[in-house]
Amino acid sequence: MRNGVVALLVAVLVIGACTTEPGSSGSVDTTTTASQSTSASSAGSTTAAVPPTTVASRPNGAAPLRGFSLSPRSSTAEDFQNFLDLVAEGGTLLEWVGDGLAWASEAGTPDVAVGLSASIDVEPITIGGWTRTEDGSLLRPLTDENVAAYVDAARSFAARHRPALIGFGVEIDTHWREFPEQWEDSTALFAEVADAIHRASPDSQVFVAFQLERLRGMQGGLFGGENDDALAAWHLVDDFPTADLIVFTTYPGLVFDTVADIPNDYYSSILEFVDRPIGFSEMGWPAGGDLGVYSGTPEDQADFVSRFPELIEGLDVAFYTWSFLFDQPIGPPFDSMGLFDEDGSARPGWDGWLGRN
């Protein structure tokens, strides 16, 4: 399995242990720090190990790509190799999510993730952000200097890798909800970044991601508010006219007691508000927890795994990503969303994912 290349890439990626990005999703953020990048460079040339790749755009009508975010059981080389083997067995994509400025460095985690994807013959999807998902605040002020840095980072990454799919903005509706006065500057930033990517790599499909449940006005359940159609914010989609896809994170277990409670048109109704292909950059259902009716079981998780493809029938879905292959040390309910538990044992949902049930 091209062990030499994989070993070098894993070594670069796990110089520091994976850290958890705060937020409603608990997404794993493996953004390489400057000191880590320096250490990686001294260990060897990551540019040589991670050659630029050219990938074709997804054909119309093709089956969705599907896979996992970077979510190994631990940061050891052995666990990372096992993670990669399982991704190759059960998926066609590997997803990285983090700070958009991480795209700037050829020795950074996004470039390493591209190399890891190539080593197991899956599609890399990278999603850069400029806001924090937990509270919608900016990672850094949108000064002229910082805007230029985001644009340059995206342009250079796109030129190096010609990505088929690349995202900018994670659960961006939270930013609008908490900081409406910054919204115009943020949508302008997206437009500049999307333009830079398209110029550097004309075939790349650029997307922005929203949190689906809250965008629908479903802010009850574990969100702590009320479900109210009047709180829906579908109009935000129109503020990103240059996005080639509209992408969502979706965790219906936060607002529905059981998988059976999810309406049959829960996802197909997106067509009323979105006129472009869609994707799901995060999805999951808990397999445990102590959250009353919103606790899950391995069987509940397996039910959602099996039902999801039925729920998206008829939609032009470019890709969907199960958030965690292995349970991650993060807060509930996301700490039990892995298809493998913390001991490394497969849950029933893994067999469902592979179509073995």
Question: Left if phi > 0, otherwise alpha if psi is -120 to 50, otherwise beta: which for 314?
Answer: left
Question: Left if phi > 0, otherwise alpha if psi is -120 to 50, otherwise beta: which for 94?
Answer: beta
Domain ranges (residues) in the chain:
3-353
C-alpha triplet 63, 66, 69: angle, nearest 5°: 160
Count how many residues are written for the chain: 357
Give the span between the Cα atoms of 280 and 320, in whole angstroms: 4
Residue 97's beta-bridge partner residues? 127
The confidence score (pLDDT) of residue 25 equals: 43
The confidence score (pLDDT) of residue 61 equals: 65
Q: Are strands 28-29 and 278-283 parallel, antiparallel or unpaired?
A: unpaired
The confidence score (pLDDT) of residue 62 equals: 81
Question: Burial of 345 by CB count in 10 Å (0-12 exposed, 13-18 middle, 19+ buried)?
Answer: exposed
Q: Which residue has 């975010």 as its token pair?
A: 69
CB-CB neighbours of 151 under 10 Å: 18
Q: Assign domain 3-353 one CATH number from 3.30.565.10, 3.40.50.2000, 3.30.360.10, 3.20.20.80.
A: 3.20.20.80
| Ordered per-residue pLDDT tens for the chain, 357 residues | 334 444 445 544 544 333 334 333 433 333 322 223 223 332 333 333 333 333 344 455 689 999 999 999 999 999 999 999 999 999 999 999 999 999 999 999 999 999 999 999 999 999 999 999 999 999 999 999 999 999 999 999 999 999 999 999 999 999 999 999 999 999 999 999 999 999 999 999 999 999 999 999 999 999 999 999 999 999 999 999 999 999 999 999 999 999 999 999 999 999 999 999 999 999 999 999 999 989 999 999 999 999 999 999 999 999 999 999 999 999 999 999 999 998 999 999 999 999 986
